[in-house]
Amino acid sequence: MSPPGTGLRTVVELDRVTRTYPNGTRALDAVSLAVAEGEFVTLLGPSGCGKSTLLGIAAALQPPSRGAVRWWGEGAERIGAAGHRLAMVFQSATLMPWLRVASNVRLPLDLAGVGRGAAERAARDTLMRVGLAGCEASYPRVLSGGMQMRASLARALVTEPDLLLMDEPFGALDEITRARLDADLLGLWAQRGAGRRLTVVFVTHSIYEAVYLSQRVVVMSARPGRIAGEVAIDEPYPRTDDFRVSQRFASHARALQRLLAAATGAEAG
């Protein structure tokens, strides 16, 4: 499946990817998906449909059982090269509790051998971008859940990734915090200029989050995960709170609800 009408290069492409675990569970079945440079694509589906597995394969954290994965038209060996940087944000913040926030954010740069001074400046600047200026010396335990997820996002962004993969990062948060982080995420996505386009693949089970964030929502069926269809959210950015309560928002949500109900064999409301 090619990115629809973008005219941009493909950043990650899954070609008939199947994933079967050693216990015999088939999580994915012949999934084909291509994401173009600069897109914000959301994977939507019920729990257990293979969304996280698909994202893990796209992150090169696990191999497919069958099929092929290409990043920027090439193999995994190019990940990490200039213009081919990849970062992932998980469902939980996964911060090191014994490290202060700045050290947690700086960790990927330390592991990459970046000089201490440059790494500290990058961590400080990135914490400012995600709204955590002044929290550098705090330990994760004193942060709220939303602030911990901001720190986790900063740790991913500090490497200046070209492809950002996010696995239900805000799913455990209250609705007010989640809505605020969704808006902030779109702001961070938009900060990258035309010369350095950030591509985001976001996993959620929330129809409303998918509509608010995405240019394109890919709906997955129940296990084994297959792509049941997709809906383009052809709405301008920035997206405001007014968009959340508009008729256009409701129309997109209804289209996704029908597609999701058909994919899972449920009755559409």
List, edge to edge, every strand of the sheet that includes 26-36: 26-36, 10-20, 66-71
Residue 119 domain flag? yes
Burial class (CB in 10 A: 0-12, 13-18, 19+), 205: middle
Q: Over the Cα atoms of the chain, what is R_g?
A: 18
Residue 127 domain flag? yes
- CB of 54 closer than 8 Å to CB of 219: no
Pick from 213, 90, 101, 89: which is nearest to 161 by CA? Answer: 89
Strand (E) or helix (H) holding 199: strand 199-204
Residue 107 domain flag? yes
Residue-number span of the structural domain to which 132 is assigned = 97-159
Residue 108 domain flag? yes
Residue 106 domain flag? yes
Give residue 112's pLDDT: 92
| Residue 166 neighbours by CB under 8 Å, 6+ apart | 88, 89, 185, 200, 201, 202, 203
Residue 102 domain flag? yes
> How far is residue 231's CA from residue 259's CA, in Å, rounded to a whole number?
9
> How far is residue 127's CA from residue 155's CA, in Å, rounded to a whole number?
9
- Per-residue tens of pLDDT for the chain, all 269 residues: 445 455 678 999 999 999 999 999 999 999 999 999 999 999 999 888 899 999 999 999 999 999 999 999 988 888 888 889 999 999 999 999 999 999 999 999 999 999 999 999 999 999 999 999 999 999 999 999 999 999 999 999 999 999 999 999 998 899 999 999 999 999 999 886 546 689 999 999 999 999 999 999 999 998 889 999 999 999 999 999 999 999 999 999 999 999 999 887 754 44
Residue 103 domain flag? yes
Q: What is the pTM of this model?
A: 0.92
What is the domain count for the chain?
1
Residue 196 domain flag? no
